[in-house]
Amino acid sequence: MPKRASLNGLGGHGEAFSVKNSNSGLEEWGIITNFANENEIDGIREMNTKGNYLKYPAYTAQDERWGLVCTTVGYQQVDPHAPYPVADHPTDYNFTNNGRVLDEYQLVYITEGEGVFQSESCPEQQIEAGTILMIFPGERHLYYPNPETGWSEMWIGFRGDQMKRMAEEFFDRKEPLLKVGVRESIVELYNKVIEFSKEDMRGAQQVVSGAITYLLGRIYYEQVNYPFRGNKNSDKINQAQMMLREHISSRLSPADIAVELNMSYSLLRSLFKSFTGVSMSTYQQQLKLNLAKELLTTSSKNISEIAYETGFESVSRFCCFFKQHMNITATDFRLKNGVLHKKSR
């Protein structure tokens, strides 16, 4: 690769950017502006070329009160040794060798090729296909493809209070490279958001907002489970989950399952929590609680029978367990929520 650009000695927020700089790794990469189709109507900017598309959807103050609005969507194919970026973005979105700062979140999905990413909170890292770059507002950053490979990218930009809450809880600007693999399901979600964004009609932003929220959930799911794909231990965890579900009425313990799977108990516990996010005992308790609630609300079985079916050695232990987790007795829960009881009234 050529000599790379750097984020050292960055200026302040809000600078105008361009990518052409003789001292950067982008020294021969100008911005292509000869688009075949370019429209700007009431501030809505849309550009279309073969293999490239971008749009900046309109939104209102009412749309913003929804909690999340889409600010930009698009995709582009960057051929090896081609200029980057290939789209003529507004000034606030353009790069210099010093990067750029946005006032929105973006999810940039690299589906082919490789390149480089760097931000104020993340040192320079190599990007490979199957990586989503999460761009945070107020965070200076820089990314570009390897000229030898080029790349294909899809992106969605958005802002809103809803995203602020999710970002604080589930994402980290120090780890903005989300490895999810090249997943057809994620590509399809991007495509759906792009298609929805073309609807410049009232309510379109709300539909797009829902699609983006679902996309974020899917990305989070794929990213946290990515380390287990192709891992032989993931099969063991799936087997452990299945055994816990199938033996919910018995007193099969997590230690017993470890023996069945020919694994040490400590290793199984560690892998299980890494894979599911909860301990084996918590997972088992949740299964028992869910079954108990189902039987209390949909069956005529008495408390003693339900205690037995959920694997408790005594009714008193079951009642204490249920009250501890639901903050209500099993009997009162049935009176309040039981379908059979409601029909008899």
Read off the pLDDT of residues 281-305 as tens digits, 9 standing for 90 and up: 999 999 999 999 999 999 999 999 9
Does residue 250 belong to any structural domain of this protein? yes
Q: What is the pLDDT of residue 100?
A: 93
Whole-Å CA distances, 298 to 55, 325, 339, 342: 51, 20, 6, 11
Rounded to an integer, the average pLDDT of 202-206 is 90
CATH code of residue 284 = 1.10.10.60
CA distance 198 to 192: 10
Residues in a beta bridge with 37: 48
CB of 54 closer than 8 Å to CB of 154: no
Residue 7 is predicted with a pLDDT of 58
Question: Mind listing the pLDDT tens digit for each residue in 40-80?
Answer: 333 445 555 556 888 999 899 999 999 999 999 999 999 99
Judged against a pLDDT cut of 60, whether residue 343 lies above it is answered with no
pLDDT of residue 45: 52
Q: Does 265 lie in the same domain as 204?
A: no
Range in 28-32, 128-132, 167-171 the model is least confident about: 28-32
Q: Are 271 and 243 contained in the same domain?
A: yes
- The CA distance from 192 to 189, in Å, is 5
User: 309 lies in which domain range?
Assistant: 232-344
Does residue 262 share a domain with residue 195?
no
Q: Helix count (H) and strand count (E) of the chain?
A: 12, 10
Q: What's the rounded Cα separation, in Å, for the pair 56 and 331?
A: 56
Confidence of residue 276 (pLDDT cuts 50, 70, 90): confident
SS3 content of the chain, % helix, strand, coil (to 5): 40, 20, 40
For residue 114, list its beta bridge partners. 128
Q: Does residue 219 sit within a domain?
A: yes
Using only C-alpha atoms, the chain has a radius of gyration, in whole angstroms, of 26
pLDDT at 107: 96
Longest alpha-carbon distance in the chain: 82
Q: Are residues 196 and 262 in the same domain?
A: no
Distance of CA 72 to the CA centre of its chain: 18
Residue 247 lies in a domain: yes
Domain CATH code at residue 96: 2.60.120.280
Clarify whether residues 169 and 247 are in a common domain: no
Q: What is the mean pLDDT of the chain?
A: 82
Q: Are residues 241 and 212 in the same domain?
A: no
Which of these three, 227, 248, 264, is where a domain ends?
227
10 — pLDDT class (breaks 50, 70, 90): very low
More confident residue, 23 or 181: 181
Domain's final residue, options 227, 250, 267: 227
167-172 long-range contacts (CB < 8 A, ≥24 apart) are 167/105, 167/136, 170/220, 171/134, 171/220
Looking at the structure, tell me whether residues 194 and 246 fall in a common domain. no
Is 7 part of any domain? no
Both 204 and 236 in a single domain? no
- Residues 199 and 249 placed together within one structural domain of the fold: no
Residue 69 confidence (pLDDT) = 94
Instruction: Calculate the dihedral angle through the C-alpha atoms of 185, 187, 193, 198, rounding to the nearest 10 degrees.
Output: -130
With 0-12 / 13-18 / 19 or more C-beta atoms within 10 angstroms meaning exposed / middle / buried, residue 265 is: middle
Examine the domain organization and report whether 189 and 42 are in the same domain.
yes
pLDDT score for 339: 62
The pLDDT of residue 34 is 30
Closest CA to 295 of 268, 313, 322: 322
* Within a domain: 3: no
Q: Flag whether pLDDT at 230 surpasses 90.
A: no
In this structure, the answer to whether residues 105 and 209 fall within a common structural domain is: yes
* Averaged pLDDT, 104-125: 96
Report how many domains make up the chain: 2
Instruction: Tell me how far apart the alpha carbons of residues 58 and 234 are, in angstroms, rounded to a whole number.
Output: 44
Q: Which of 172, 200, 227 is the last residue of a domain?
A: 227
- 237: pLDDT confidence band, cut at 50, 70 and 90? confident
Residue 309 lies in a domain: yes
Helices (H), the chain: 61-65, 161-170, 184-197, 204-225, 232-246, 254-260, 265-276, 280-298, 303-309, 315-326, 330-337, 339-344
The CA distance from 21 to 188, in Å, is: 36
State the amino acid at position 32 in one-letter form.
Answer: I
Among candidate residues 72, 23, 83, the one with its CA nearest the CA of residue 44: 72
How far is residue 34's CA from residue 39's CA, in Å, rounded to a whole number?
Answer: 13
User: Degrees (nearest 5) of the Cα angle 94, 98, 101?
Assistant: 55
Q: Is residue 153 part of a domain?
A: yes
Distances (CA, A) of 324 to 135, 137, 162, 277: 42, 42, 32, 22
Residue 9 has pLDDT above 60, yes or no: no
Residue 322 lies in a domain: yes
Residue pLDDT, tens place only, 144-154? 999 999 999 99
Q: Give the SS3 label for residue 257.
A: helix
Instruction: Identify whether residues 309 and 238 lie together within a single domain.
Output: yes
- Work out the average pLDDT over 270-275: 87
